[in-house]
Chains A and B, each alone.
Chain A
Amino acid sequence: MAAGPASHGGLRRAQRPHLSKMERMVVSMQDPDQGVKMRSQRLLITVIPHAVTGNDIMEWLIHKYCITEEEALHLGTLLVRHGYLYPLRDPCHLELRLDETPYRFQTPYFWMSTLWPAAELDYAIYLAKKNIRKRGGLFDHEKEHYDQLHRKISHTWDLVVMQAREQLWAAKQRRKGDRLVIACQEQTYWLVNRPPPGVPSVLEQGPERNSCTAGRVQMTKTVDFYRREVECLRKALGRARVKSSVCLEAYLKFSSQRGPHDPIMSGCLPSNPWVTDNDTYWAMNAPSAAVPTRLRVEQWAFSFRELLEDPVGRAHFMDFLSKEFSAENLSFWEACEELRHGGQAQVPALVDAVYQQFLAPGAARWVNIDSRTMERTLVGLGRPHRHVLDDAQLHIYMLMKKDSYPRFLKSDLYKDLLAEAVVPPKTKRRVFPFMRKPRHSSPSPALLPASASREPSGGDGEA
């Protein structure tokens, strides 16, 4: 599947909104009042009007968009590389120089959105012109292309040469200044569309999008489609919405609570491994670390989900539940998770195992579910699928979250964990910073035996 010029020009344009934005930018730069300062540039003996220097462009960009010099230079360079600005001197390299090199704005005829894709015939004519004018002084890559084209369209080669001669003759009739400008414009256009080797092409796109007709078929407005739309909209109407101000407050609270835990925002102790080449931070925060850090223990208090996501946290919570004789709740939840995310082939066996262990009357680790949910679950067990225990799982999850979890956070067990938690000292700055520490490699998770690398599953007595 080639991302090629075979597609319709208009369709491709929609995929490149940045071009229209660049064009608008370039047009506003040429505004007589608000635009860039234009001046006439003297090139040898010819005078070219409406020229600008790199510095003028940068100043205008900085002023108009309130950006730094670095960004303005970058933006200006992109404009030149896409062919919207061309240098009047040495138009072999498309870059924005900050010296006295004069630049001009490319004529809309040669804009990327107008004259694209570049036609091979036009390129052949251009190369032929250059060949005649410079008496064979083409660049290597141009010579290659020239030969290739010659072979490809040899049947119309006479036309190419004739056109080339005509255009050269017409150009001679013009004033020297115009001739120079047109030559630069054309050269820039071809530098953008046929870049020399080593220069990345700005025209490159990823694979073509919207090319699949299957997608279009789906969009045919059948009754089914409208039925789905109506259903979706009806659901949307009925949904309870929260005020945005409340949501934004929630973000504020969330981000400020997690701020100290965010290494990029607040750094991390003892040090960020990427910065100091010291991976102690990872060793201390390993999934199965014996003594968790203080920040880590604090994180267990943020939400029940985060407590369960941390293997160490989950293990401590399991201990706590065992003391309260409700450990089967967590085990049940874990078993349900394994069912939901396990392989399809294991579903029937797992469902049966969970039923036997947790739900059957008189089961070894019977979990307390309300009767309605239990009834629904038992009915569903007739045709086991991976989501058959979802309701029961949710019930137990909420039970733990609303009841056991708050008690855990207030318990002595948790308070002791907080007290014992480690706060690593910040790494002292190295006196000789250029002495690089050797970077330790760590064993790949793929090397560990399978049981160790899987998530902790089940509790005691899991089938």
Chain B
Amino acid sequence: MKTRRTLKGHGNKVLCMDWCKDKRRIVSSSQDGKVIVWDSFTTNKEHAVTMPCTWVMACAYAPSGCAIACGGLDNKCSVYPLTFDKNENMAAKKKSVAMHTNYLSACSFTNSDMQILTASGDGTCALWDVESGQLLQSFHGHGADVLCLDLAPSETGNTFVSGGCDKKAMVWDMRSGQCVQAFETHESDINSVRYYPSGDAFASGSDDATCRLYDLRADREVAIYSKESIIFGASSVDFSLSGRLLFAGYNDYTINVWDVLKGSRVSILFGHENRVSTLRVSPDGTAFCSGSWDHTLRTKNYLFVSLQVWA
């Protein structure tokens, strides 16, 4: 696997990114409040918005590809419809959807553009109606900040998993707001959770430098992906399309590729000069994109930060 594209344009740490369903566009957000939509195949920037807050830690692409959602230290999640009209200012059409009492750590659209799921530093997750901004359901149960969430690819499409600073990963029923299952084997904050493609299990990456696989039907942890030489936390995990490989980005600037079934590491990728903050496999599994906190000093005053696409 090699870096196939380097997307330069953010002036500061990249915190989050998401793919569009068209398999080539991505949205990324950074510490200085900039949210950029790229066609990563051609590396062209298509849209850019500056949020009124810094540390935009969450961003998501709508399933239709017509809107993006983002949020961070402003405690809100805002939805921006994407427009190519040069006369329109994207910020003008912004819709403030979610309101939390602490920073927004993760957001994701559900199966359509009309609902959005958010996780926040105030310890709760919430489901919102985009059009009206109404709170449809809230999920209480975490004892500390919730850092990540992922929707289940299930037939009935009703559950999601969240991970938090209380070292717990909890599976929720979206309809009732109840916690269905909880897993607490990590030794530190869980930074990222992602479902296995079949929906029967999920992986989590944590500050304790391990990634773990939890099975929902067996109701327990079934695998740990760790190595003595890996001592920095995993910030972000994702599966390849078949679920055979687990890609994990770490705070020691590397990406480790794990064999999910054997529990061993397949390879290690060096390509960033600072911690890898976000990693997502593309919707058709042809590549994955990693974003990091690094910058390369090109000229004295200009800092470029890179997102890389690997295949």
Contact = CB atoms under 8 A, between A and B. Distances in A.
B71 interface: no
Interface in A177-219: 198, 200, 204, 206-207, 209-212, 214-215, 218-219
Nearest to A309: B153
A186 to B, nearest CB: 26
B201 A251 contact: yes
A344 B188 CA distance: 38
A8 interface: no
B184 interface: no
Nearest to B66: A446
Interface residues of B, number: 113
Taking each of A198, A214, A259, which has the highest tally of chain B beta carbons within 10 Å of its own beta carbon?
A: A214
Interface stretch (A69-77, A122-130, A358-366): A69-77
A263 to B, nearest CB: 4
Interface string B113-141: 01100000111000001111010100011
Nearest to A16: B207
Interface stretch (A165-173, A274-282, A320-328, A367-375): A274-282
A337 B215 CA distance: 27
B39 interface: yes
Q: Which of A71, A235, A281 has the most CB of B within 10 A?
A: A71
A204 B293 contact: yes
Contact of A209 (B121, B231, B288): B121
A148 to B, nearest CB: 20
A439 B20 CA distance: 18
Contacts of B11: none
B32 interface: no
A22 interface: yes
Contact of B110 (A61, A247, A248, A341): A341
A345 B287 contact: no
A78 interface: yes
Interface in A250-272: 250-252, 254-255, 257-259, 261-265, 268, 272
A262 B244 contact: yes
B191 to A, nearest CB: 10
A17 interface: yes
A65 B228 contact: yes
Given A15-B207, A305-B155, A210 B144 contact: yes
A334 interface: no
Interface of B: 1, 4-5, 15, 20-25, 39, 41-42, 44, 46, 55, 57, 63-67, 73, 81-84, 101-103, 110-112, 114-115, 121-123, 129-132, 134, 136, 140-145, 147, 153-157, 165, 175, 179-182, 187-189, 196-198, 200-201, 207-209, 215, 217-220, 222, 227-229, 231-233, 240-245, 251-254, 260-261, 268, 270, 273-274, 281, 284-288, 293-295, 297, 309, 311
26 contacts: A17-B188, A21-B209, A61-B229, A71-B229, A212-B123, A228-B141, A244-B220, A247-B217, A251-B243, A251-B261, A264-B240, A268-B286, A272-B311, A274-B311, A285-B284, A304-B155, A342-B114, A439-B42, A440-B42, A442-B39, A442-B41, A444-B25, A445-B21, A447-B84, A453-B64, A455-B63
Given A250-B200, A264-B286, 14 more contacts: A1-B73, A1-B103, A18-B231, A18-B233, A25-B231, A74-B252, A200-B295, A214-B123, A242-B218, A247-B218, A263-B241, A341-B114, A345-B132, A390-B175
Interface of A: 1, 14-18, 21-22, 25, 61, 64-65, 67-68, 70-71, 74-75, 78, 198, 200, 204, 206-207, 209-212, 214-215, 218-219, 228, 232, 235-236, 239, 241-244, 246-248, 250-252, 254-255, 257-259, 261-265, 268, 272-275, 279, 281-282, 285, 304-305, 337, 340-345, 387, 390, 394, 397, 401, 439-442, 444-447, 450, 453-455
